[in-house]
A and B are shown apart, each in its own frame.
Chain A
Amino acid sequence: MLARKHFDIQAGNYDEAGKAASEIKRTLKLEHCSKELIKRVSVASYEAEINIVIHSVGGFADCTIDDHAVYLQFVDHGPGIADIALAMTEGYSTASDESRLNGFGAGMGLSNIQKSADEMTLISDVNGTILKLKFHREGDDSHDSE
């Protein structure tokens, strides 16, 4: 294991939203991940962090990087996603008017995450949601030399 980071994420705090994603990006740079990988991880981690800020009562993120992959885990403490298939549909959103005013609520978050990650697991009930993501690092060298 090369690096491991933990971040608390506050619900409803739009001004602080993006801090975890920003720190994750910094960590990947220090680990010499490719630009392409950093972009994919940045998109997914920002969307996942924003989901916790907008939709949950709060939670945390864990980031682990080893030689083979970047692993992200986003956990919140509820109220859960009522219908995951519907939530995955592009354009569907339950975001509040306040979050829409902040530029969110496009209904693209989970879809952006799925397209960015190589592997994704999403488990949710009323007690909370766990999102696990894996990003392969195999392409690192070839992408860097392009």
Chain B
Amino acid sequence: MIASNWRLKDWTFRTSPETWNHDVVGLYASDLLSNVLRHAEAKNALVTTLSNMNVIAVASLANLPLVIFSEGKEPSEAMIEKANEEGVALLVAKEDSVQVIRALLEANLL
């Protein structure tokens, strides 16, 4: 499933359309980057309330093609620029992480 299919409700991409074309398979949710590194699998989407440069670095290192920022957490311009460079799609959702995951389940994306 490509990343653009994961845009539900009024969630909005912050990165360029080139980043939306990557395959996304499965999901991992955490606000602790060590756990993301250890447990997320390549091609997973990441749901997190963390919004800083380290999230982009970890997504890139762990081959995570999509990050969904829950609770309306906005990535900075520097984060968006880095994500565009690394080919990581960034989505912003105003719902909390549980609601994001529920929406993805109801849309049969998980």
Which A residues lie at the B interface, using CB under 8 A?
14-15, 17-19, 21-22, 25, 35, 39, 42-43, 46-47, 50, 102-104, 106, 108-109, 112, 115
12 new A-B pairs (CB below 8 Å) besides A22-B60, A102-B50? A14-B53, A17-B54, A21-B61, A39-B62, A46-B37, A50-B33, A103-B31, A103-B33, A108-B35, A112-B34, A112-B38, A115-B38
CB distance B61 to A108 under 8 Å?
no
Q: Is B25 part of the binding interface, using a Cβ–Cβ cutoff of 8 Å? A: no
**What residue of chain A has the Cβ atom nearest to residue B53's Cβ?**
A15
* Interchain CA distance A17-B61 in the complex, whole Å: 12
CB distance A103 to B61 under 8 Å?
no
CB distance B35 to A14 under 8 Å?
no
Q: With a CB–CB cut-off of 8 A, which chain B residues contact A18?
A: 53-54, 57-58, 60-61
CB distance A102 to B35 under 8 Å?
no
CB distance A103 to B52 under 8 Å?
yes
Q: Interface residue tally of chain B, by bracket?
A: 20 to 34
Q: Most A CB atoms within 10 A — which of B33, B58, B78?
A: B33
* Interchain CA distance A124-B32 in the complex, whole Å: 26
Q: Is B42 part of the binding interface, using a Cβ–Cβ cutoff of 8 Å? A: yes
Q: Which of B33-63 contact A (CB under 8 A)?
A: 33-35, 37-38, 42, 48, 50, 52-55, 57-58, 60-62
**What residue of chain B has the Cβ atom nearest to residue A104's Cβ?**
B33
CB distance B50 to A42 under 8 Å?
no
* Interchain CA distance A104-B50 in the complex, whole Å: 10
| 28 A-B pairs (CB sep. < 8 Å) | A14-B53, A15-B53, A15-B78, A17-B53, A17-B57, A18-B54, A18-B60, A22-B60, A39-B62, A43-B38, A43-B62, A46-B57, A50-B33, A50-B54, A102-B54, A103-B48, A103-B52, A103-B54, A103-B55, A104-B54, A106-B33, A106-B34, A106-B35, A108-B35, A108-B38, A112-B34, A112-B37, A115-B38
CB distance from A89 to the nearest CB of B (A): 14
A21 interface neighbour in B35, B55, B57, Cβ under 8 Å: B57
Q: Which of B90-106 contact A (CB under 8 A)?
A: none
CB distance from A41 to the nearest CB of B (A): 10
A22 interface neighbour in B32, B50, B55, B61, Cβ under 8 Å: B61
Q: With a CB–CB cut-off of 8 A, which chain B residues contact A106?
A: 32-35
CB distance B37 to A103 under 8 Å?
no
